[in-house]
Amino acid sequence: MQVIPAVDIRGGRCVRLLQGDFSKETVFANDPVDMALHWELMGAERLHIVDLDGARSGRPQNAEVIGRIVDAVNIPVQVGGGIRSIETAEMILNMGVDRVIIGTSAALDTEFAEEMFANFGESVILGLDALGGMVATHGWQETTDIDAVEFAQQMADLGARRIIHTDISTDGMLKGVNLEAMKGMASAVEIPVIASGGVTNIKDIEQLRKLEPLGIEGVIAGKALYTSSLNLKAAITAASGK
């Protein structure tokens, strides 16, 4: 199981938001490239980058910074935030990004989602955000009446190869992972699931690793790494079962 550090970019800086709230921002680095290089040096095998400005506006806003990160590191990078067209996905992938992430708002357009999955295959990930088991959209500001597990199954049927499942209620709270939600999602689909939200310490990594046989292939860690409640090297060791 991979431990994937998150590098969230807003206004060209590396920040973290509390449950996606733009008014609750903490800046951790003025240059996200420095942070990306730090996580690579610590042993990260992949980076998770989110263009927060892009997620809010509907199109990428920090492409220049993302390009510099891709050029600087020697590990795969996956990028989300504002990727809502085939052309935008191609532009981001052509920068050397390994995978692009389409958010729930975009995926609700099933024709677009199916086209993305058909065009890019393994190079596109479905980002599925949920609150109380229901799909959340528009930067987590709206919760639909769509069951998250049923939506995931629908997307898998349309060709999704991989899902990032974010539990909004735990994101940035440092109160632990919603293991039941992650277990339910991994058990319901036959494609790999990357867990996101609530990672706090090594115990969370160890518990998620137990779900690896169900299809949990990775976990995204953000605030816990930045506040040092989780050590990346120790987390990678725990995730490998060593």
pLDDT digits 0-9 by tens, 130-156: 988 999 886 556 778 999 999 999 999
> Percentage of the chain surpassing pLDDT 70?
92
Under-70 pLDDT residues of the chain: 18-25, 138-141, 170-174, 242
pLDDT at residue 24, as a whole number: 66
Mean pLDDT for the chain overall: 91
Where does 2-240 sit in CATH, by number? 3.20.20.70
Output the six-digit token pair for 106: 């975009």
Residue 128 parent element (H or E): strand 124-131
Which of 220, 165, 206, 208 is CA-nearest to residue 188?
165
Enumerate the active-site residues.
8, 129
Q: Give the number of C-alpha atoms closer than 13 A to the C-alpha of residue 130, restricted to the C-beta side.
A: 26
Residue type, 34: D
pLDDT at residue 78, as a whole number: 98
pTM: 0.93
Strand, helix or coil for residue 26: strand
pLDDT digits (tens, 9 = 90+) for 65-77: 999 999 999 999 9
pLDDT at residue 170, as a whole number: 66
